[in-house]
Amino acid sequence: MKAFIIDRYGKKEVGRIGEMPAPEVRDDDVLIQVHAASVNPLDSKIKSGEFKLILPYRLPLVLGNDVAGKVVRVGARVRDFKPGDEVYARPDDDRIGTFAELVAIKASSVALKPRSLSLVEAAALPLVALTAWQVLVETAKLKKGQKVFIQAGSGGVGSIAIQLAKHLGAFVATTTSTANADWAKTLGADVVIDYKKQDFASVLRDYDVVLNSLGNDELNKSLQILKPGGHLISISGPPTPAFAAERGLAWPVKQVLRLLSAGIRRKARHKGLHYSFVFMRADGAQLREITALVESGAIRPVIDNAFPFADTDKALAYGESGRAKGKVVVQVI
Ligand SMILES: NC(=O)c1ccc[n+]([C@@H]2O[C@H](COP(=O)([O-])OP(=O)(O)OC[C@H]3O[C@@H](n4cnc5c(N)ncnc54)[C@H](OP(=O)(O)O)[C@@H]3O)[C@@H](O)[C@H]2O)c1
């Protein structure tokens, strides 16, 4: 099959389209003919080697962490899907590779795609919507009337997290650049701070939850806007020893993560705040909840741009610019 492959890790690695063997279909898997796959910063971080410690892959590696397509075959133990079903998924960490003609994914990580979406639109959702769900519903347990600050509201995660938080009944603040400020309000943000002109830490007060997706500066400033007992949840690091334990990472890796996160954990503790790191995981049951939210009109995918499969390298480079408004999709068919 044709696939977008990296041969080595490195900032200069661009990847290439080449031939790879079709994936092995295990008894619990569905084999999906990929129609579309969206781009995530995770693809670029894997490509650069930044995630080697946490996600040790064998090279050459097919990149891609999001898919929408048609089931072509199911494993012997699969009962919930049949050939012809239109599905979407974020594959499990150790089985990525959606920038390809075919991908095999555990059936428990797959869901039927929302009927109201095309396959291109559906491909924009799984990873970012699961991230938003695992941060806001699972970790923060966000309740009606609570105040949440979602950084980078125009990004892939931000644009879905705003809609989900609003659906949960929260009061939502976000940051965007000048050009995207009005648009973020249409997603449901109650307060939009233009980060080019104002510092969010001097405007926001008494928040219950922060979703941090930016750097160290924003992470530390987020502590200032939380009320006592508030929860700072970061998806851009630093990872915690609790995350290392959950993932069963080796002892030396756990010690590295302990050191990396010691500062923010200590500062949060002194202020009576909680700090968590979330690294999203594949989950078909949660994806079914997301399908229902899309079908009820509560959330919709946001697509900046779509590229043909032959231009997957350009799609990744566009994502790496950090300026995408919503998601970048690769159309494999
Ligand atoms: N841990 C996890 O499970 C997990 C899951 C998903 C993503 N992530 C991480 O979360 C981060 C965001 O992911 P993403 O997919 O949302 O990225 P993205 O879509 O590539 O983010 C691009 C957006 O960020 C905005 N932005 C850039 N700098 C900003 C700033 N200083 N303040 C406010 N907005 C800013 C840009 O808006 P302007 O053009 O207007 O500046 C652009 O719309 C990445 O580091 C990614 O690796 C982690």
Q: Atom 46 in ligand 1: which residue has the minimum CA distance? A: 41
The pLDDT of residue 202? 97
* Distance, first Cα to last Cα, the chain: 13
- Rounded CA separation 326/82 (Å): 31
Q: Which stretches of the chain drop beneath a pLDDT of 70?
A: none
The pLDDT of residue 53? 84
What's the whole-model pTM score? 0.98
Domain made up of 128-277: CATH architecture: 3-Layer(aba) Sandwich (3.40)
Q: What is the DSSP string of 41-95?
A: HHHHHHHHTTTTTTS-PPSSEE----EEEEEEEE-TT--S--TT-EEEE---GGG
The pLDDT of residue 199? 97
Q: Atom 32 in ligand 1: which residue has the minimum CA distance? A: 152
Q: Model confidence over 26-43: pLDDT tens digits?
A: 999 999 999 999 999 999
72 and 35 Cβ atoms separated by less than 8 Å? no
148 and 137 Cβ atoms separated by less than 8 Å? no
- The ligand 1 atom at the shortest distance from the C-alpha of residue 128 is 6
- Rounded CA separation 332/102 (Å): 10
Fold of 2-125+301-331: Quinone Oxidoreductase; Chain A, domain 1 (3.90.180)
- The ligand 1 atom at the shortest distance from the C-alpha of residue 278 is 1
Kindly state if the Cβ of 156 falls inside 6 Å of ligand 1.
Answer: yes
For the chain, what are the domain ranges? 2-125+301-331, 128-277
The pLDDT of residue 13? 93
Kindly state if the Cβ of 278 falls inside 6 Å of ligand 1.
Answer: yes
The pLDDT of residue 156? 98
Q: Atom 25 in ligand 1: which residue has the minimum CA distance? A: 152
Residue type, 16: R
Ligand 1 pocket, mutate which of 151, 160, 236, 303 (most atoms under 8 A from CB): 236
Kindly state if the Cβ of 90 falls inside 6 Å of ligand 1.
Answer: no
- Rounded CA separation 47/8 (Å): 8
Q: Atom 34 in ligand 1: which residue has the minimum CA distance? A: 152
